[in-house]
Amino acid sequence: AQKVTQAQTEISVVEKEDVTLDCVYETRDTTYYLFWYKQPPSGELVFLIRRNSFDEQNEISGRYSWNFQKSTSSFNFTITASQVVDSAVYFCALSEDSGNTPLVFGKGTRLSVIA
């Protein structure tokens, strides 16, 4: 069975600090997809990134970067020079490529960036 663990329930940082959100996953499939979503106070879930299990390259997009390590089953997300607008709940999710298996979400990490 698939499972996503986000051990950090809440994180609070001061603006301009770097912060890393952890995500550990479990799956029996060799082909799977990992995702990060951001949910600001408005409620809408915003898609940030998709990574498939065969692509272990790290990715950087502006202040955001993702570190995918199959050896430790982790897909961590780092925000550099955090800003108040980064305050949100961040969800890591997993989808197995074995047919009708949609997203399984972690419990989310609430990030508060203080000015």
Partner 1 sequence: DTEVTQTPKHLVMGMTNKKSLKCEQHMGHRAMYWYKQKAKKPPELMFVYSYEKLSINESVPSRFSPECPNSSLLNLHLHALQPEDSALYLCASSQPLAGTTYNEQFFGPGTRLTVL
Residue type, 69: Q
Provide the minimum distance between the beta carbon of 83 and partner 1 in the complex, in angstroms, as a whole number. 22
Stretch that binds partner 1, among 12-20, 69-77, 80-88, 98-106 (CB under 8 A): 98-106
**Binding residues for partner 1, how many (CB under 8 A)?**
22
Provide the minimum distance between the beta carbon of 9 and partner 1 in the complex, in angstroms, as a whole number. 9
Tell which positions 23-82 bind partner 1, by CB under 8 A: 33, 35, 37, 42-47, 50
Closest CA to 16 of 63, 77, 65, 59: 63
Burial of 92 (0-12, 13-18, 19+ CB in 10 A): buried
Stretch that binds partner 1, among 11-19, 59-67, 75-83, 103-111 (CB under 8 A): 103-111
Contacts of residue 94, defined as CB under 8 A and 6 or more positions apart, other chains included, come to 2, 3, 4, 25, 27, 32, 33, 34, 35, 103, 104
Is residue 7 a contact residue for partner 1 (CB under 8 A)?
no
Question: What does residue 51 show for φ and ψ, rounded to 5 degrees?
Answer: -135, 130
| Binding stretches for partner 1 (CB under 8 A) | 33, 35, 37, 42-47, 50, 91, 95, 97, 99-103, 105-108
